Structure 1
Amino acid sequence: MKDFASLYAELDETTKTGEKVDALARYFAAADPADAAWAVHFLSGRRPKRLVGARKLAAWAMEAADVPEWLFAECYDSVGDLAETISLLLPPSGSSTDLPLRHWVEERLLPLRGEDEAGQRREIQQAWAELDGPQAYVWNKLITGSFRVGVSQSLVVRALARVSGVDEAAVAHRMMGAWDPNPDFYARLLEMDTRDTDLSRPYPFFLAYALEGELESLGDAREWQAEWKWDGIRSQVIRRGGSTFIWSRGEELITERFPELAHAAALLPDGTVLDGEIMPWRDGPLPFAQLQRRIGRKVLGPKILAEVPVVLLAYDLLEVDGVDVREQPQAWRRSRLEELVRVTPSAGRILLSPVVAAADWDDVLQAHRDARARLAEGLMLKRADAAYGVGRRKGAWWKWKVEPFTVDAVLIYAQRGHGRRASLYTDYTFGVWKEGELVPFAKAYSGLTDAEIRKVDSFVRRNTTQKFGPVRTVKPELVFELAFEGIQRSPRHKSGVAVRFPRMLRWRTDKKPEDADSLDTIFSLLESAAAQASGD
């Protein structure tokens, strides 16, 4: 636990990728396998659900620190993070633990789930008495389920590859899917023999950066494959050992959520892995909001299955007859994929994502202009000779999204962010005009510089008019230009519309609140999007 807390502090104190990888590599090189397995678990973004409610934890911390509720609330409001607030208020324990991380997770943390309230209180306060400040901070982070330290899974993979000498792609593959954080898993993670395979395990997804520069900078258009970029759920469909597995890019096994795709995939040859997009589809793509209707349901009845049918738009082939073909050129994989889809009787559930017929970059440019009418987000550009890589890489794949919809809206609510932004007001709700009043329209938290965030934070603190739990109502004075990818009618929202991927493009210091857009403007965008989709 002492070493893991030191690692957390070291990672939290730097924003440099190289320094983070160095710190991770040093830790993994020295850690006991049982501790290292749990470190991989937490650092790669996997964490237990919150084991104790926030109110209970705060009450027990106030008792241990002997502080009144009003003072705790003021401290929490200043710090913005529950785990950090508690660790700062607790009196020095005078102790420090030498027990391993495995002990604190398996024998102290996870058993809390089965304890009654009195038992949880006793165990947590006892832990605080045994841990020093940095250790208690990490412990609190684990209890609250808010363990974040600015490390991505790809950085963990890089560190493990450096320590073990195993290729990054092999390490990343072993970390995909479901696994238990134990010494045996950690040993397999670092095993030099990379012939191992897990029947259900997906491959790491290949990701693309946004297109940089002009199309002509990519060279000859005939050396590239252009295809539509769809707005669905990026997935891998796996058929191995007579079984079917469907994984999302978020490493969630979603086979049961899409029974029609599982049934269709059962007709694929054994030893096949497809990469593609799960899309709501009825004679063509449906808005993503339709797919959300299925995602949010625990039980998929016949009605919703009929109302929102789905397909897999397949655009890559990763495994053939049980052989990994990711190193084959893009053109080779596409040719084999076309043949596979042609001969597989999938009842129209597995479709080939069409490529754009383009003789030159002018053809590609015209296709990009037509993307929104096809309910596509834009285009993907893939080198014909490119292998299927691991993670986000530049050069082989580029994504070229259409220009977003934009509106000017007024900041009306704010609340604190998370992680490094826990002490700042960074999560905002924006309103547009309707009959002389501002109605909530969209939430956004990205797009501003650090300097702008600090200025908005200062404004929120000086201009709060009401408080509702963590939410602050502010004077409607600041105007921002918002961008979003899609727009859909939604009776669940007060404005009557829902938008996709809202973010802030810029702070419109040149505009007054009365210059912001109205709900009529939003509905005109909605009508325009509908007209484009219908081909009018």
Structure 2
Amino acid sequence: MLLADVVAASTAVVATRSRTAKARTIAGLLRAADPVEVEPVTAWLAGEVRQGRLGVGWRTLARLGGEPAAEASLTVTAVDRGLTELATTSGAGSAARRGTLLGGLLAAATADEQRFLVRLLSGELRQGALEGVVLDAVAAAADVPSASVRRAFMLSGRLPRTAAAALAGGAAALDAVRLEVGRPVRPMLAAPGSSLDAALADLGDAVTVEFKLDGARIQVHRDGDEVRVWTRTLREVTDGVPELVDRVRALPCATAVLDGETLALDDDGRPRAFQDTMSRFGTEAAEPGVLLSPFFFDLLHLDGRDLLDEPLHVRLDALAGLLADDAHAALRMPGVRSPSADQAADVLDRALTGGHEGVVVKALDAPYAAGRRGRAWQKVKPVHTLDLVVIGVEWGYGRRTGKLSNIHLGARDPAGGEPVMVGKTFKGMTDELLEWQTSTFPGLAREHADWGLLLRPELVVEIALDGAQRSTRYPGGVALRFARVLRNRPDKTPAEADDLDAVRALLAGG
């Protein structure tokens, strides 16, 4: 298969907003691919490369572009082999060798292929919502149930390998994928709930109501004395959080997979600033004395028994048993199971009084839907908040002259396209944040204009708002009301941002 075939399919996918049409195009390409081509083709159409981060910047790609080839000749296999060589080239003189490799690859590409490769390698093709479309396409191409594809992907975390397994081995190969202790599972996500009463009315009496902490999501795996910790984006942070490792290593079990949150607390047991917690997961040194406390709310595996498909009440029973000892009881997320309306309201009040965000209401009969944001878990906060993608920024004026200030906000497109703009805001920005935006955003620019920058959809920001209103100004037909910045969310990817349906759900009467 030629790279040109992949480029043509990618162009067709971008040209339509129909999720069905996107999936049909991708499925056709996957059917035509040879077995060894399925993994790279799948990765590229999802905006990724199989080799992971290649350390190639946009400026380097632009400099090496050069004159394009007149005819398409690059094959998928040749490009994938070149990217592997690029990823494994290191040591003395590696910069020059990498430049030669990359220059040769781009020189052999046509103009359309060059544009595709530059966007792919610089991250501009990375549209998290497109991942779901590719999963639908894999199911169609292999003629297997979509649920089998999604489950195998969520358990393995590897979309290209999932596609290869589906096309080579069908449903049997997908169903053979199991939870592995030591291999992270994509976390189940909570949908925004409009209010506590609405969430209880939606899910019924058989629920648990738990604190929603202002912390960082963690997934912890234990196998004997080995303990490993991942963030919500499945980035391993084990070496940076020894206090979490020690707490889990002390539990009375041999193997376990725990889901929860962690945050830094002050001497009074109240949460420290979110930035203090996140500093423990960054590249810079954390503030001295910042220790993380874990709070677990789910158990996916215990001593050889997978609990992923069990209803939540079974998983909670197992978690309660694991943390029954007084020495471990504090590791349990505070909450009440099957509460009355008054008891649920009391949980919310205690959470807010303690300095936390709110509560999560969870259906007790729901299995663990790895990687999904369904209605079985609903987060309730006293104000509406959304995680949106920053897709542009305007130069400020007045006191903010010379600063990149007013950000453009995009909701994830359920159809798998680019984020859909739903509003702008400059409210809630500190001087420190303005300085950070001004120094950081130019490096993410996909287009410069007199008014500001259009940005690659890579950054997620948490926005507080009073609701939404219908609007003809934005393509999604909806606009945010009184949006203000709460904070950046470096722990979240654009694939985890709230989608357009979540914004529309905030319409009055919607």
Work out whether the TM-score is over 0.5.
yes
Structure 2: how far apart are the matches of 1:119 and 1:439? 40
CA apart distance, 1:223:
2.0
- Which blocks of at least 5 consecutive residues in structure 2 are unaligned? 412-418, 427-440, 453-459, 470-481, 487-510
Aligned residues: 422
Number of the residue aligned with 1:355: 335
Number of the residue aligned with 1:103: 78
Number of the residue aligned with 2:21: 19
Number of the residue aligned with 2:312: 330
For residues 346-382 of structure 1, give each alpha carbon's deviation from its aligned partner in whole angstroms, at most 9, with x where no partner exists: 5x8x610011477433443454455433222221111
Q: Which structure 2 residues correspond to residues 81-160 of structure 1 after superposition, within 5 A?
A: 93-99=69-75, 101-107=76-82, 110-111=85-86, 113=89, 123-149=101-127, 151-160=129-138
Aligned residue type for 1:325: L
Structure 2: how far apart are the matches of 1:32 and 1:210? 42
Structure 1: how far apart are the matches of 2:232 and 2:203? 31
Number of the residue aligned with 2:496: none
Q: Which structure 2 residues correspond to residues 172-187 of structure 1 after superposition, within 5 A?
A: 172-176=153-157
SS at match of 1:260: helix
CA apart distance, 1:160:
2.9
Number of the residue aligned with 2:190: 208
On the 8 A contact 1:34/1:182 being kept in 2, the answer is no
Distance 1:394 1:298, change over 3 A: closer
On the 8 A contact 2:86/2:98 being kept in 1, the answer is no
Number of the residue aligned with 1:238: 221
Structure 1: how far apart are the matches of 2:170 and 2:224? 23
Aligned residue type for 1:277: E
Distance 1:285 1:468, change over 3 A: closer
Distance 1:41 1:392, change over 3 A: same
Number of the residue aligned with 1:427: 393
SS at match of 1:343: coil
1:276 aligned onto 2:237 = no
Structure 1: how far apart are the matches of 2:408 and 2:14? 21
SS at match of 2:120: helix
1:226 aligned onto 2:209 = yes
CA apart distance, 1:173:
3.3
Distance 1:194 1:354, change over 3 A: same
On the 8 A contact 2:309/2:367 being kept in 1, the answer is yes
Number of the residue aligned with 2:361: 381
On the 8 A contact 1:221/1:360 being kept in 2, the answer is no
CA apart distance, 1:187:
5.7
Number of the residue aligned with 2:477: none
Structure 2: how far apart are the matches of 1:176 and 1:452? 30
1:296 aligned onto 2:259 = no
1:58 aligned onto 2:23 = no
On the 8 A contact 1:236/1:274 being kept in 2, the answer is yes
Distance 1:241 1:117, change over 3 A: closer
SS at match of 1:446: strand
State percent identity of aligned pairs: 21
Number of the residue aligned with 1:165: 144
CA apart distance, 1:394:
3.3
Aligned residue type for 2:212: K
Structure 2: how far apart are the matches of 1:370 and 1:429? 42
Q: Which structure 2 residues correspond to residues 401-412 of structure 1 after superposition, within 5 A?
A: 401-403=381-383
1:317 aligned onto 2:296 = no
On the 8 A contact 2:149/2:162 being kept in 1, the answer is no
CA apart distance, 1:292:
2.6
Distance 1:290 1:453, change over 3 A: closer
On the 8 A contact 1:173/1:202 being kept in 2, the answer is no
SS at match of 2:331: strand
Number of the residue aligned with 1:9: 11
Structure 1: how far apart are the matches of 2:442 and 2:231? 36
Number of the residue aligned with 1:30: 32
Pick which of 30-39 and 437-446 moved more. Answer: 437-446
Distance 1:10 1:219, change over 3 A: closer
Structure 1: how far apart are the matches of 2:442 and 2:113? 33
CA apart distance, 1:96:
0.4
CA apart distance, 1:181:
10
CA apart distance, 1:197:
5.0
For residues 235-260 of structure 1, give each alpha carbon's deviation from its aligned partner in whole angstroms, at most 9, with x where no partner exists: 21111254222121101112112111
Structure 1: how far apart are the matches of 2:333 and 2:227? 21
Distance 1:183 1:369, change over 3 A: closer
1:396 aligned onto 2:376 = yes
1:446 aligned onto 2:405 = no
For residues 376-407 of structure 1, give each alpha carbon's deviation from its aligned partner in whole angstroms, at most 9, with x where no partner exists: 222111112222213334331111122169xx
Number of the residue aligned with 1:411: none
Structure with more relative contact order (C-alpha pairs < 8 Å, separation 6 or more)? 2
Taking structure 1 as the reference length, what is the TM-score of the superposition? 0.65
On the 8 A contact 1:208/1:394 being kept in 2, the answer is yes
Number of the residue aligned with 2:507: none
On the 8 A contact 1:25/1:160 being kept in 2, the answer is yes
Aligned residue type for 1:210: P
SS at match of 1:445: strand
Structure 2: how far apart are the matches of 1:220 and 1:128? 54
Distance 1:129 1:211, change over 3 A: same
